[in-house]
């Protein structure tokens, strides 16, 4: 299994200045590589490959000695990223995407990470040494497992630095088998409601930080372009963003862990997250993003633990069907938080009832796939 571990990097000013300098050199190389690709195409309608560009790196170091300070793998990675940007562009053209988005030149502050592969760095306890940059101190919140394939050092908008270790061969942590099945529905008021009647709300501190973020974003919009005040406002927005993201991550991890730890099969409504995020209502889009992230976390945590996540296709009557007798109560509106089934008289909480439906449908789907698998083998 693959896994990425992210840690905060600490160090003195000098080391971050050198890392900043690397980013700047990488950015210049990226732009030069892009310029070269464009001019080769302009002159003879042909393409220069990533490999050919890499072969020119020694010449670059002769002409611009400052590049000898940067690890060769880091420079190769810059050209690989450029190549990926090109491939993405051609793929989008081929797929007939209206806005193919030609690779762009990167302005100052628009290049914020560099990547190393097997060499040029060393991890020693709580220290990460990168050749020609120096020794960072790591805030090692959890141990790294598996084999480290690449490391990426990143400067975030808040000015804080992080490192990501991408590992493979991370051993899975299977949990003991569980027969418990649960259905989860997106609550309208709560973050989610499950088929056992539990509600999980967005934590209060997260809502507070989201309000702070919105306030700061409004301030930023009012500041005059390229003024000092705007610069300051942008940093404040970045800091609020980071806080919201951290608190939200924490909350989502805990919620996902809870379901993976307690249930063998987790049924969840398959929402069209992408379509929803385009919504321009900010508060709405924040909750949709959370939901999408929750879904991703739940899926990979379940996989790691040997648990199942069943996506239940969205179907109209989820909220209108009575989970007790199956009757569909057509005339319900979004405002009916509670309702009484006309056919059997059961009193329902809207979200709880939907969760029970998701659970039942998910269980049926799960049994069908299981039977299919049996009859194939
Ligand atoms: Zn009923």
CA of 326 to the centre of ligand 1 (A): 6
Q: Which residues of 178-194 are buried (b: 16+ CB within 10 A; e: fewer)?
A: eeebbbbbbbeeebbbb
Spell out the per-residue pLDDT of the chain, length 377, in tens: 888 999 999 999 999 999 999 999 999 999 999 999 999 999 989 999 999 999 999 999 999 999 998 989 999 999 999 999 999 998 888 887 667 788 999 998 889 999 999 899 999 989 999 999 999 999 888 889 999 999 999 999 899 999 999 999 988 888 888 999 999 987 667 889 999 999 998 888 888 898 999 999 999 999 888 888 988 999 999 999 999 888 999 999 999 999 999 999 999 987 754 444 444 555 555 566 788 889 889 998 998 898 999 988 876 667 889 999 989 888 887 777 889 999 999 999 988 999 999 999 999 888 887 777 666 55
* E strand map for the chain: 3-10, 113-116, 121-124, 127-130, 134-138, 147-155, 161-168, 181-186, 192-194, 199-200, 265-270, 308-313, 338-340, 347-349
CA of 328 to the centre of ligand 1 (A): 8
CA of 349 to the centre of ligand 1 (A): 13
CA of 270 to the centre of ligand 1 (A): 24
CA of 351 to the centre of ligand 1 (A): 15
- Judged by DSSP in three states, 4 sits in strand
Q: Is the Cβ–Cβ distance between 150 and 117 less than 8 Å?
A: yes
Residues 277, 282, 283, 286: what is their CA dihedral angle, to the nearest 10 degrees? Answer: 40
DSSP annotation of 373 = H
CA of 323 to the centre of ligand 1 (A): 7
CA of 338 to the centre of ligand 1 (A): 13
> Residue 326 and residue 316: Cα distance in Å, rounded?
13
pTM of full prediction above 0.85: no
Q: Is the Cβ–Cβ distance between 281 and 289 less than 8 Å?
A: no
Question: Residue 210 to residues 186, 188, 267, 309: CA-CA distances in angstroms?
Answer: 19, 18, 29, 29
> Residue 240 and residue 232: Cα distance in Å, rounded?
13
CA of 311 to the centre of ligand 1 (A): 25
Q: Is the Cβ–Cβ distance between 149 and 117 less than 8 Å?
A: yes
Specify burial of residue 45 (Cβ count, 10 A radius: 0-12, 13-18, 19+).
exposed
Cα torsion angle, 153, 155, 161, 166, sign: negative
CA of 295 to the centre of ligand 1 (A): 30
> Residue 165 and residue 135: Cα distance in Å, rounded?
16
CA of 352 to the centre of ligand 1 (A): 14
Cα torsion angle, 89, 93, 94, 97, sign: positive
Length of the chain: 377
CA of 329 to the centre of ligand 1 (A): 9
State in Å, rounded, how far the first CA of the chain is from the last one.
25
CA of 319 to the centre of ligand 1 (A): 12
CA of 344 to the centre of ligand 1 (A): 4
CA of 347 to the centre of ligand 1 (A): 9
Give me the pLDDT at residue 276, please. 46
> Residue 91 and residue 100: Cα distance in Å, rounded?
8
Give the residue from 78, 64, 148, 88 showing the smallest Cα distance to 114: 78
DSSP annotation of 178 = -
Q: Is the Cβ–Cβ distance between 166 and 148 less than 8 Å?
A: yes
CA of 219 to the centre of ligand 1 (A): 51
- Ion ligand 1: protein residues whose beta carbon lies under 5 Å: 322, 324-325, 327, 341, 343-344
CA of 214 to the centre of ligand 1 (A): 43
Q: Is the Cβ–Cβ distance between 240 and 209 less than 8 Å?
A: yes
| pLDDT tens per residue across span 274-313 | 444 444 555 555 566 788 889 889 998 998 898 999 988 8
> Residue 116 and residue 353: Cα distance in Å, rounded?
51
> Residue 234 and residue 236: Cα distance in Å, rounded?
5
Tokens coding 289: 């993003």
Q: Is the Cβ–Cβ distance between 352 and 366 less than 8 Å?
A: no
Tokens coding 117: 């592969």
> Residue 365 and residue 37: Cα distance in Å, rounded?
51
CA of 259 to the centre of ligand 1 (A): 28
Give me the pLDDT at residue 141, please. 80
Tokens coding 148: 């480290």
């Amino acid at each position: 299994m693959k896994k990425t571990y992210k840690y905060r990097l600490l160090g003195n000013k000098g080391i971050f200045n050198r890392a900043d300098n690397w980013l700047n050199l990488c950015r210049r190389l990226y732009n030069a590589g892009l310029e070269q690709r464009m001019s080769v195409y302009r002159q003879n309608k042909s393409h220069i490959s990533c490999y050919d560009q890499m072969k020119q790196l020694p010449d670059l170091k002769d002409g611009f000695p400052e590049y000898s300070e940067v690890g060769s793998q880091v420079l190769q990675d810059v050209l690989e990223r450029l190549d990926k940007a090109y491939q993405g562009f051609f793929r989008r053209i081929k797929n007939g995407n209206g806005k193919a988005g030609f690779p762009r030149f990167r302005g100052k502050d628009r290049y914020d990470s560099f990547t190393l592969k097997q060499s040029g760095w060393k991890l020693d306890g709580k220290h990460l040494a990168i050749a020609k940059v120096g020794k960072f101190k790591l805030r090692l919140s959890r141990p790294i497992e598996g084999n480290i394939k690449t490391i990426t050092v990143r400067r975030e908008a808040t000015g804080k630095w992080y490192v990501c270790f991408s590992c493979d061969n991370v051993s899975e942590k299977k949990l003991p088998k569980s027969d418990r099945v649960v259905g989860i529905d997106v609550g309208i008021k709560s973050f989610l409601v499950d088929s056992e009647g539990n509600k999980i709300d967005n934590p209060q501190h997260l809502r507070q930080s989201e309000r702070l973020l919105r306030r700061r974003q409004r301030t930023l919009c009012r500041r005059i372009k390229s003024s000092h005040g705007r610069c300051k406002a942008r940093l404040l927005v970045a800091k609020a963003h980071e806080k919201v993201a951290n608190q939200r991550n924490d909350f989502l991890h805990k919620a996902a862990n809870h379901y993976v730890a307690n249930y063998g099969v987790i049924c969840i409504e398959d929402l069209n997250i992408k379509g929803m995020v385009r919504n321009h209502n900010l508060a709405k889009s924040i909750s949709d993003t959370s939901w999408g992230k929750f879904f991703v976390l739940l899926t990979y945590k379940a996989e790691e633990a040997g648990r199942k996540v069943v996506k239940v296709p969205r179907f109209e009557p989820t909220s209108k069907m009575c989970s007790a007798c199956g009757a569909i109560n057509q005339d319900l509106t979004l405002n009916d938080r509670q309702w009484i089934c006309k056919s059997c008289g059961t009193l329902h909480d809207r979200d709880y009832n939907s969760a029970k439906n998701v659970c039942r449908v998910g269980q049926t789907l799960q049994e069908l796939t299981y039977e299919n698998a049996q009859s194939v083998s």
